[in-house]
Amino acid sequence: MRNSILKLAAMSVAMSALAVSAPAFAQEEEAESGPITITGGITGVSDYRFRGVSLSDKDFAIQPTLTVKHESGFYVGVWGSNLAANAGDDIEVDLYAGFSGGDTITYDIGATYYVYPGISSFNYVEFTGKLGTTVGPATIGGQLSYVPSQDNTGNTDNIYVATNAAIALPDSPISIVGSVGLEDGAFTGGSSKLDWSLGLTANVAGFTLGASYVDTDRQSTFAFKDSSAGVVFSLAYFF
């Protein structure tokens, strides 16, 4: 995606998956139900931000998701979102698969195929590895994502390294969430890009509310002021 789409309107997927709005490998809460677990949900965001860059031209986006996971740790899923107006369909569909597990230290190794219906020349694949652990009230994690050189990325690769944290406030449904990421390669125009976010999430009556300040070290990446600072609000329901 991101390489071509953002050349048109926003190039195109954390720490808060709600605020930054990227597909999250097997992130949804799971319930015990035999060897196969099906989870999903839908999120509404005031701005679809991907690694600090607005892909919805700072407009509202709806993002459904569905994941099927086997007790072995293998999972497959799909995630979608509307995008800013561009020369083709204004939809992104992410097909992902991977393997996750762990106890004290969790791991998640997977791949995502970014699909743009009607604009197949924008499609591309990315591989991601994640590690996480809990320290007191804090959950911390890191990720490394790699896009190998392919025709749809201008035959150039891309690397993204990020860390994130969530701190649950005692006797409260509220958590403080934040992330910092560094990206370099096909989707950064030849120079590295730093992004960061800081916000709050709260579980209320079965819904997850979120508000995060999102920023980067540049004003524009692929479209005018698409990387400038902003506050992203979110409302999500997961099952």
pLDDT 10s per residue in the chain (239 long)? 443 333 333 333 333 434 344 454 544 444 455 899 999 999 999 999 999 999 999 999 999 999 999 999 999 999 999 998 654 468 999 999 999 999 999 999 999 999 988 788 889 999 999 999 999 999 999 999 999 999 999 999 999 999 999 999 999 999 999 999 999 999 998 899 999 999 999 999 999 999 999 999 999 998 899 999 999 999 999 99
DSSP state of 8: I
pLDDT given for residue 3 in this prediction = 37
CA distances from 27 to 131, 154, 156 (A): 13, 31, 29
Which residues on adjacent β-strands are paired with residue 235?
A: 44, 209
* Residue ranges making up the domain that contains 79: 2-238
Q: Around 197, how many Cα atoms within 13 Å sit in the side-chain half-sphere?
A: 35
Of 122, 108, 191, which is closest to residue 150 (Cα–Cα)? 122
Question: How many domains does the chain contain in total?
Answer: 1
Q: Model-level pTM?
A: 0.86
Whether the CA torsion 170, 173, 178, 179 is positive or negative: it is: positive
Of 58, 59, 45, 54, which is closest to residue 17 (Cα–Cα)? 45
| CATH number of 134's domain | 2.40.160.40
